[in-house]
């Protein structure tokens, strides 16, 4: 049973509450609750409580999984490589050290597959990463087959030679190793598509951005033939006379009505917006008690006039706009905290204030939200939104596929000009597939290098990044060092085997990528030209993730001058709002104490600003009216 959806919608809570429900109600059965999100929240959700003895918790550590896999199979992998290519032991060691599957999604897939095959549990509950990365997890069978195909190509040459000279070939331990991995992948894919044994439960909020992402998610799940019948709509406002709750409820019902026709085949289950943060054993046990069928025919509450948005008491402690010399500004935080909205509002504000300057707003999240937030179609090519403002949603996967296509084409032309013989007949396929053994994060780093080329062209003055949720952003920030090592291995091959491996166009592209990666690293550490604006909401789980984010940034030398406390409960509401406000007040005090070097901006919850006009109003409220440096 997998729970997925946009970051911040409550996947971890739903997965934890469901696992506890089964564990308590079926004590003779055994269960596993596992997280595949790089920024784990399971232990934060349980909050130190003792779980039933028939329930185990596991936060998968991708690096540990990778290390274990390499220790178990390192000898086999080296033997496969040595049999099938002209690379020597030193080259093989370099590639295996860097290029074994390291994607957290891939290692999670292999680990869960192994647990399913052992049949150690009656049911496994999976708390997945945010949408884009979960889809990569679910599409892992195809990726693993490519990886296995690369290994199989290495063995093909050995098989041919044995048959040619001995007239026979019997499968050995290495063939069995690959065969078993193929079988494991096929079994897991069959399970994911089994309507009896597997179900995927999307979790969403009744908000435009969340609903749109869920619809895209559902289309992809349908394409992958993964069964979905139920959708959880989390944090529904109560039906009362409180203006804050009434406005929230009205907005939720309106958005659900708009999209109901696109969800005809699914059951929608509503979970109330609980007074206290759902965290710890008791609140998790009670989580599903308030569930009900979503009623989109309920009456809507009063509307908020967005014409007075900027004049309303929405912001406490507005910040200063970034210094004029700023080149790169990153918005980062846990999924669902409002990064996209604040990044867009900031970009619109800067494009209005900085006359004669060009602002470039872009997203690296696999599940992009810029189009929904700006209420305009944004894609993988730059789109001019207004004077001084351009936006783009980078398709990292497509960028990498183009690179692999160019590589394969140049390799085909080069090898086609060489006298064909036994070695090259097989080395051709090996070298074509070598990109399938590339390190994790290469596609995303290539996408960022594309932005660095725009920086070098001086066409834009300030770049604003709407990043992926925390776990994947941190991996992306740390990836350049791994990619740089991988590039060095390739350069060594080009030099060492220049008579065999002569690809001038790809060589130039890799050299350019290496330069752009170094420029990116330099820019991130240049505290005069770049900064990261952290975004959080006032919950314990979000605070925990924010601490990880800021700590990593400090270690990497990335400046964090601003911290937005977003979606705060206004003080002038009902009893429910008052309880929320008091709970959040304690967290505000902790945040101010934990992050004394950042300026704190409190943003109250009020509607969902979409479109340039509403975002401009929000941008005007977020920042001071004069352009000056943030005081730290």
Distance CA 250, CA 344 (A): 24
The verdict on domain 2-293 having CATH code 3.40.50.300 is yes
214: confidence class by pLDDT, cuts 50, 70, 90? very high
Three-state SS at 197: coil
Three-class DSSP category at 268 = strand
Compute the mean pLDDT over every residue in the chain, rounded to the nearest whole number: 81
pLDDT above 70 (res 42) = yes
* Sequence ranges of the domains in the chain: 2-293, 318-395+441-502+515-622
Q: Do domains 2-293 and 318-395+441-502+515-622 have the same CATH topology?
A: yes
Provide CB contacts within 8 A for 290, sequence distance 6+: 271, 272, 274
SS3 12: helix
**pTM of the predicted structure, to 2 decimals:** 0.71
CB 510 within 8 A of CB 485: no
Residue 475 makes CB contacts below 8 A (sequence gap 6+) with: 38, 104, 440, 441
User: pLDDT at position 305, please?
Assistant: 47
pLDDT band at 629; cut points 50, 70, 90: very low
Dist. CA 295–CA 233, nearest whole Å: 11
Pairwise CA distance, residues 431 & 50, whole Å: 52
Handedness of CA 203, 205, 206, 208 (dihedral sign): negative
Task: Please tell me the total number of residues recorded for the chain in this structure.
Answer: 632
Those residues with Cβ within 8 angstroms of residue 441's Cβ, 6 or more apart along the chain or in another chain:
475, 476, 479, 482, 483
> Per-residue pLDDT averaged across 14-23, rounded?
96
Angle, in degrees to the nearest 10, between helices 442-457 and 470-496: 90
Task: Dump pLDDT digits (tens) for 252-283.
Answer: 898 899 888 888 889 999 999 998 889 999 99
CA proximity to 234, closest of 395, 15, 485, 530:
15
Question: Would you say 128 and 37 are in contact if contact means Cβ atoms under 8 Å apart?
Answer: yes
Q: Residue 284 pLDDT > 60, yes or no? A: yes
Provide the b/e sequence for 340-358 (b: ≥16 CB within 10 Å). bbbbbbbbbbbbbbbeeeb
Alpha-carbon span 492 to 502, nearest angstrom: 12
Residues 178-197 pLDDT 10s: 888 778 778 878 888 888 88
Strands (E), 14-95: 31-35, 55-59
Which among 534, 556, 557, 546 is positioned nearest to 603, based on CA atoms?
534
Task: Name residues whose C-beta falls within 8 Å of residue 57's C-beta, 6 or more positions apart in sequence.
Answer: 32, 33, 34, 42, 43, 46, 51
How crowded is residue 471: how many other Cβ atoms within 10 Å of its Cβ?
24
Lowest mean pLDDT among 15-24, 370-379, 480-489: 480-489
Q: Is the pLDDT of residue 37 over 50?
A: yes
| Sheet architecture: strand order including 230-236 | 55-59, 31-35, 123-127, 2-4, 200-205, 230-236, 267-272, 292-293
pLDDT tens, position by position, 161-181 = 666 556 555 667 777 878 887
Radius of gyration of the chain (CA): 26
pLDDT surpasses 70 at 158: no
Summarize pLDDT for 494-514 with one digit per residue, the tens: 666 666 567 788 888 878 888
CATH number belonging to domain 318-395+441-502+515-622: 3.40.50.300
Bridging pattern class, strands 599-604 and 315-316: antiparallel
pLDDT value for 112: 80
DSSP 446-514: HHHHHHHHHHHHT--SEEEEEPPPHHHHHHHHHHHHHHHHHHHHHHHHHHHTTTT---HHHHHHHHHHH
Provide the pLDDT for residue 628: 46
pLDDT beyond 60 at 627? no
Model confidence at 538: pLDDT above 90: yes
Residue 420 has pLDDT above 60, yes or no: no
| Residue pLDDT, tens place only, 437-461 | 666 566 777 777 778 888 888 899 9
pLDDT average, residue stretch 289-318: 67
* Calpha distance 471→475 (Å, rounded): 6
């Amino acid at each position: 049973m997998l729970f997925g959806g946009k970051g911040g919608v409550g996947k971890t809570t739903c997965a934890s509450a469901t696992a506890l429900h089964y564990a308590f109600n079926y004590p003779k059965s055994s269960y596993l609750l596992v997280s595949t999100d790089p920024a784990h929240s399971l232990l934060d959700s349980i909050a130190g409580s003792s779980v039933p003895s028939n329930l185990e918790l596991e936060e998968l550590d991708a690096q540990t999984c990778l290390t274990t896999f390499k220790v178990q199979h390192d000898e086999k992998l080296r033997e496969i490589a040595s049999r099938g290519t002209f690379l020597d032991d030193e080259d093989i060691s370099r590639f295996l050290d860097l290029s074994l599957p390291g994607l957290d999604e891939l290692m999670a897939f292999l680990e869960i597959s192994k647990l399913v095959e052992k049949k150690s549990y009656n049911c496994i509950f999976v708390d997945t990463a945010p949408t884009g990365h979960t889809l990569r997890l679910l599409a892992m069978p195809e990726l693993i087959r490519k990886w296995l195909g690369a290994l199989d190509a290495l063995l093909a040459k050995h098989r041919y030679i044995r048959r040619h000279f001995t007239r026979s070939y019997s499968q050995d331990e290495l063939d069995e190793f690959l065969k078993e991995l193929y079988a494991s992948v096929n079994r897991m894919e069959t399970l994911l598509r089994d309507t009896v044994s597997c179900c995927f439960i999307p979790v969403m909020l009744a908000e435009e951005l969340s609903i749109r992402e869920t619809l895209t998610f559902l289309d992809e799940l349908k394409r992958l033939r993964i069964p979905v019948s139920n959708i959880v709509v989390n944090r529904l406002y109560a039906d009362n006379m409180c203006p804050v709750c009434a406005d929230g409820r009205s907005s939720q019902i309106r958005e659900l009505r708009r999209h109901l026709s696109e969800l005809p085949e699914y059951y929608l289950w509503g979970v109330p917006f609980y007074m206290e943060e759902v965290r710890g054993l008791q609140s998790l046990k009670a989580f599903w008690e308030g569930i009900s069928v979503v009623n989109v025919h309920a009456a809507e509450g009063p509307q908020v006039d967005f014409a007075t948005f900027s004049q309303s008491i929405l912001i406490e402690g507005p910040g200063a706009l970034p210094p004029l010399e700023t080149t790169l500004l990153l918005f980062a935080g846990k999924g669902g905290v409002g990064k996209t909205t604040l990044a867009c509002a900031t970009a619109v504000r800067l494009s209005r204030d900085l006359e004669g300057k060009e602002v470039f707003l872009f997203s690296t999240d696999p599940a992009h939200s810029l189009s929904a937030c700006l209420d305009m179609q944004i894609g993988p090519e730059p789109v001019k939104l207004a004077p001084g403002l351009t936006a783009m949603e980078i398709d990292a996967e497509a960028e990498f596929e183009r690179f692999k296509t160019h590589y394969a084409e140049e390799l085909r032309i080069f090898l086609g000009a060489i006298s064909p013989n036994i070695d090259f007949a097989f080395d051709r396929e090996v070298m074509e597939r070598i990109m399938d053994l590339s390190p994790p994060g290469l596609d995303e780093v290539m996408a960022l290098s594309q932005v660095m080329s725009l920086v070098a062209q001086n066409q834009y003055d300030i770049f604003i990044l709407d990043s992926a949720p925390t776990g994947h952003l941190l991996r992306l920030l740390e990836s350049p060092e791994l990619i740089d090592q991988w590039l060095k291995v390739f350069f060594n091959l080009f030099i060492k085997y220049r008579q065999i491996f002569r690809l001038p166009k790809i060589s130039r592209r890799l050299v350019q990528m290496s330069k752009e990666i170094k420029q990116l690293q330099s820019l991130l550490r240049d505290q005069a030209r770049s900064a990261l604006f952290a975004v959080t909401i006032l919950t314990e789980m979000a605070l925990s993730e924010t601490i990880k984010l800021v700590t990593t940034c400090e270690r990497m030398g990335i400046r964090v001058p601003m911290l937005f406390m977003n979606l705060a409960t206004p003080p002038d509401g009902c009893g429910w709002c008052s309880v929320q406000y008091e709970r959040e007040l304690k967290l505000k005090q902790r945040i101010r104490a934990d992050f004394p070097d950042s300026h704190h901006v409190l943003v109250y919850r009020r509607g969902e600003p979409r479109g340039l006009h509403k975002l401009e109003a929000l941008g005007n409220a977020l920042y001071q009216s004069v352009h000056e440096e943030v005081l730290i």
